[in-house]
A = this chain, B = another copy of it.
Amino acid sequence: MTRVGVNGYGTIGKRVADAVAAQPDMELVGVTKTSPDYGAEAALRRGYDLYAALDDRVAAFEDAGLDLAGTLADLLDAVDVIVDCAPSGVGERNRPTYEAHDTPAIYQGGEDAAIADASFNARASAPIRNADSLRVVSCNTTALSRLLAPLDESYGVEKARVTLVRRGGDPSETNRGPINDVVPDPATVPSHHGPDVNTILGDVDVDTAALKAPVTGMHTHSVNVTLEAKPTTEEVRELLRGETRIFLIPEDAGIDGAGTLKDYASDLGRARGDLWENCVWEESIRVQGRDLYLFQNVHQEADVVPENVDAVRALAGDVSREESVARTNETLGVGIDSLLSDGGAPRDQVAADD
């Protein structure tokens, strides 16, 4: 039984906490908050022990009437692994504290790769040995790694070129923009996302260009991969259909964007309408010569959550990667098998002239 704490019960932290609490081989010891807000209240309602992330905030929780189990230092002394879900950059500030308590730590992808012994993705990163800290790569890097790993294994990736149309902020972030523009961000091309993929897949040549759009639901990737082999469109569809953390959106399901995708997730009974899988538009998958094209949507609040669970097991070191992924998928319900007929052969084989 691995005892786990979550430092930072925000967008990612609350989801990681729920996912950890659902694992039979893990115990969620507690979560931290900096402020006694609605999220802190919700943690208590869920029965999670609440710790003050900062010592000087204890009185604020008391004033608000929310009971604390202690402070971050108490939590660190009680756990085998701490999952840092603080905002980008705050993980770096937290690192000396974790090290002073000799507590193995998992960081998020907003931190520099140098923060941890290794960067992590359950599908694609190299085996982890003797690490005291891991960094789960960002939502975008996670999605790209899941996609490029099977393509590289099966066909060889000569070069990947990806445009990331990123959401401006999360649904709960009213202080983010843009509200009416599409902003090159960064305007320098290629963006940092390609090199970040290389912290997972060292040998894959990938360039990325990143934009921000006035949406909060999901990121959208427009992907081109020049392959070394020449598979058919249907072969690529079948390859990706076989990946448990990739969901091929059926062509005639009536799912046309992030809104309907998340509505479908709620229809499936998923808490928070979360989509842990890369969501690839089935009809967008198309091979022309050696060039593969596709669109995929990425739920920025959710796709790293199963990866964090697997990262905890990678640090604890007592089960294989495959066994961990299977357990995580089973307990959370990762993977969607649509009941809708797949429509048979792809359209380019049925009506090549249309």
Contact = CB atoms under 8 A, between A and B. Distances in A.
Interface in A44-86: 44-46, 63-66
A96 interface: no
A253 B41 contact: yes
A249 to B, nearest CB: 9
Contacts of A250: 38
Given A42-B268, A272-B273, A273-B272, A36 B260 contact: no
A37 B250 CA distance: 10
A340 B39 contact: no
A255 B269 CA distance: 25
A152 to B, nearest CB: 31
Q: How many copies of this chain sit in the oligomeric assembly?
A: 2
B268 A65 contact: no
Interface residues of A, number: 46
Contacts of A253: 37-38, 41
Contacts of A256: 174
A266 B302 CA distance: 14
Interface string A255-287: 111011011101111011100000000000000
A41 B338 contact: yes
7 contacts: A38-B255, A38-B264, A38-B267, A38-B340, A64-B252, A180-B180, A269-B271
The 7 closest A-B pairs by CB, nearest first: A42-B267, A37-B254, A65-B341, A171-B259, A38-B253, A172-B263, A266-B272
